Structure 1
């Protein structure tokens, strides 16, 4: 079952990429009311460039917050594990490619951010209920 879910998530990400490109970044640029970011990481095992589309429930001129929910799966998403190994990454937000340094929020930071995250998209609370793992919140400091 997990390989099917993983394949489905990758297929959805590819479809999202295609729709954004075909529409000039107009369609699906704010799913669930949150801006889409394209995250560029370095593969933790391969060392190769990797990219995926995510939403950011909270962001400003210096910080982008990401939620490593994987839809409530019991495993961390690959992009999160890549950032743990290689915290220097890049994000494309609002059409601008920016270098970031990513880190997992401390428990104190997460307790402050989580209500705002859930307020932006209630689905994150549902994802947390689906899993026993503590869903990490990632703070990306823009460079």
Structure 2
């Protein structure tokens, strides 16, 4: 998918994403963790986490809501960017970080990350596409391989706040 097409989709959903992030943050995670995404081809009970990353060039802290799955105790997030031809900024920021913050509902943690490879990647991709079927369409619309990031949670940290979000 051309980046312009993906950008148009993101712009149309932008208010929704901002509202979702605000709801997640202002509730301390009591709202926003599980959403019904059947309207956009997803599942009724779709789980969402928040990630907190530092911008690789700006040094700013960014908080992003993302769909996640749990595979063998690791949190899996997908750098789909709606099938755009370029990676999302948050993913590029993760690549420059040893650890990131992750919040699931009302609990937040420091996390290390890795990317699965070969057969493991295939299995994790299949699982994530089952959780959120539009990922399959996203992958078909771009020539880049959509990255998967697996997070291992570490020490607890404070839940994220609106002051953290850019």
Shorter-chain TM-score: what band? 0.7 to 0.9
1:79-119 Cα distance to aligned partner (Å, 9 max, x none)? 10000011310101021011101222223321121111111
Structure 1 residue 39 and structure 2 residue 51: aligned? yes
Length, aligned pairs only = 142
- 2:95 & 2:64 partners in 1: Cα distance? 16
Cα deviation for residue 12 of structure 1 reads 3.7
Question: Contact 2:71–2:124 (CA<8 Å) still a contact in 1?
Answer: no
RCO comparison, higher one (Cα < 8 Å, 6+): 2
- Tell me, which stretches of 5 or more residues in structure 1 are unaligned? none
1:5-38 Cα distance to aligned partner (Å, 9 max, x none)? 4872654432212333566756543233221111
The structure-2 alpha-carbon separation of the partners of 1:89 and 1:10, relative to structure 1 and needing over 3 Å to count, comes to: farther
Identify the residue that residue 20 of structure 2 maps to in structure 1. 16
Equivalent in 97, 106, 128 of residue 108 of structure 2:
97
